[in-house]
Amino acid sequence: MSAQDGVEARNARKVYGTGQEKVVALDNVSIVIKRGEFFTLLGPSGCGKTTLLRLIAGFETPTSGTILLDGTDITYDPPNKRPVNTVFQSYALFPHLTVAQNIGFGLEMRGHAKAEVDSTVEEMLALVRMESMADRKPTQLSGGQQQRVALARALAPQPKVLLLDEPLSALDLKLRKEMQSELKRLQLETGITFIFVTHDQEEALTMSDRIGVMKSGSLLQVGSPREIYTRPADRFVASFIGETNFLTGVLGKDAITLDAGGTLPLGASTQAKSGSKVTASIRPEQIRVIETDAPGSLPATVTESVYFGTDSHCHFALADGTEVVVRLQSPASGDVGLSRGQNVFLRFEPGALMVLEDQA
C-alpha cells in the first residue's frame, strides 16, 4: 500500500531519561497502519504500545523518527492540530454535563454552530444506541454506557484516526465482551481507522483486522489474527497469543525427532538447519487423545484435568516429563472421561507442529 493511505511510523524511537536512568520505551519501530482498518497493538505492560499511541496522538514527540498521516509529516504537530482523537481507560466524562452535552462539548470548543452540534450529537447518540439517555448525567450510567458516551464524544468531530488505550480494562468480563462487538460495529459503520492498545490477546483476536505484537519497545510481528495465531514469528509471540505447548527435538528434513521420543512432521518450512536442536510449538486444540498407538501419536500420562465449562484443559506428561496441555470439548456430562495416572496416546494433527527457534 501507499504510505499516503494511513498512519505510518518510520524508525520511531522514544527514550526517557539519561545515563543510568535511561529507558528506551520505543526502539526504532516502523509500521504502516492502513486507512479504515481496525489495528491492535498487543503486548505486556511496558512493551511500548502506549508510547507509540501517544506519538501518533501528539502527546509525546519521538526522540528520533517520523510520524506520518496520509503521507503528511505530523511528528511535531500539537494534538489539537491532528485529525486524531483518543479514548482512554478512564472515560473522563464531565460529571456536571448530560450525555448529550458531553458528546457535543468538543464540537462547541471548536466553534461549530449550535444547529450543527445538535445534529451531530443526535447522530452520535443513534450510532451508540443511547438516544433515550441523552439527558442523563454520567453518574446515572453503567460502565458500558459511560464507555459508549466517551466513544461518541471522540467520534463526533469525525477524526481520521481513533486511538483507544485499553478502554475496556475497567469493565467486567461479560460487559467487556459486549463492548468488543460494539467497538467493531462502530469501526465498520464509521470507516474510521481504529488503533487499539491492549494486553488482552482475546480482545486482539476477536476485533482486529491486523495485530502488531510488541515486546521491550520492539515490534515483533504484524499480521492478521489468524496469521499471528497459526504462524507466530517466535516463542514469545506463540506464548503471548493464546495457549501453546513447546516441544524440543532435533530437526530433520521434514520432521522433528522429539526429545520425548517419536518423530512428527512439520507444519511449515523453517530456516533452521537440518540436524539442529530446535523448539517447536503446537496449540492445545490441535492434539487429540486416543486409546491406542497410531502414526503421529506419542504415549502420555494424565496428570490433571481442569474444567472450564465449554471445554476442559487436560494436562499430560510425555515420556521425558514434558508437560502437554490438550483442550477437549466438554460433553453433556461435563466429564471428559480421563483420570489422573491414566495412560493414553496423544495424536498430533498433521502439519500442526511449527519450528519457532534454532537452539544450536
Q: What is the mean pLDDT of the chain?
A: 90
Question: How many Å apart are CA 120 and CA 118, to the nearest integer?
Answer: 6
Contact 194, 218 (CB under 8 A): no
Same domain for 137 and 271, yes or no, is: no
Last residue of some domain: 235, 255, 288?
A: 235
- CA terminus-to-terminus distance, the chain: 38
Last residue of some domain: 235, 261, 286?
A: 235
The residues with which 348 forms a beta bridge, in sequence order, are 287
Q: How many domains does the chain fold into?
A: 2
Last residue of some domain: 235, 256, 272?
A: 235
Same domain for 153 and 227, yes or no, is: yes
| Model confidence, pTM | 0.88
Question: How many Å apart are CA 54 and CA 51, to the nearest integer?
Answer: 5
> What is the phi/psi pair of residue 356, to 5°?
-105, -40
Residue the block writes with cell 456536571: 96
Predicted pLDDT of residue 359: 60
Contact 317, 278 (CB under 8 A): no
In order, the DSSP letters of 316-327 are EE-TTS-EEEEE
Same domain for 57 and 157, yes or no, is: yes
- Nearest in space to 194 (alpha carbons), one of 229, 233, 168: 168
Contact 245, 324 (CB under 8 A): yes
Q: Return the CATH number at 312.
A: 2.40.50.140
Question: If you compute the radius of gyration of the chain from its CA atoms, what whole number of angstroms results?
Answer: 25
Predicted pLDDT of residue 97: 93
Length of the chain in terms of residues written: 360
Same domain for 319 and 210, yes or no, is: no
Same domain for 307 and 346, yes or no, is: yes
Q: How far is CA 155 from CA 85, 202, 234, in A?
A: 8, 25, 37
DSSP state of 235: H
DSSP state of 268: S
Question: How many Å apart are CA 253 and CA 191, to the nearest integer?
Answer: 47
The residues with which 165 forms a beta bridge, in sequence order, are 197
Predicted pLDDT of residue 32: 96
Same domain for 72 and 171, yes or no, is: yes
Q: Return the CATH number at 158.
A: 3.40.50.300
Same domain for 175 and 284, yes or no, is: no
Predicted pLDDT of residue 270: 73
> Which residues, other chains included, contact 105 with Cβ-Cβ below 8 Å and sequence gap of 6+?
94, 97, 153
Same domain for 91 and 156, yes or no, is: yes
Same domain for 227 and 269, yes or no, is: no
Question: How many Å apart are CA 208 and CA 33, to the nearest integer?
Answer: 12
Same domain for 26 and 114, yes or no, is: yes
Residue numbers of the domain that contains 78: 3-235
Same domain for 161 and 43, yes or no, is: yes
Residue-by-residue pLDDT tens, the chain, 360 positions: 454 579 999 999 999 988 888 999 999 999 999 999 999 999 999 999 999 999 999 999 999 999 999 999 999 999 989 999 999 877 788 999 999 999 999 899 888 899 999 999 999 999 888 899 999 999 999 888 898 899 999 999 999 999 999 888 877 888 888 888 888 999 999 999 999 999 999 899 999 999 999 999 999 999 999 999 988 989 999 999 989 999 999 988 888 899 888 888 877 667 778 888 999 999 999 999 998 888 778 999 999 998 888 888 999 999 999 999 999 988 776 677 888 999 999 998 887 888 887 664
Same domain for 212 and 271, yes or no, is: no
Chain-centroid distance of CA 344 in Å reads 35
Contact 24, 217 (CB under 8 A): yes
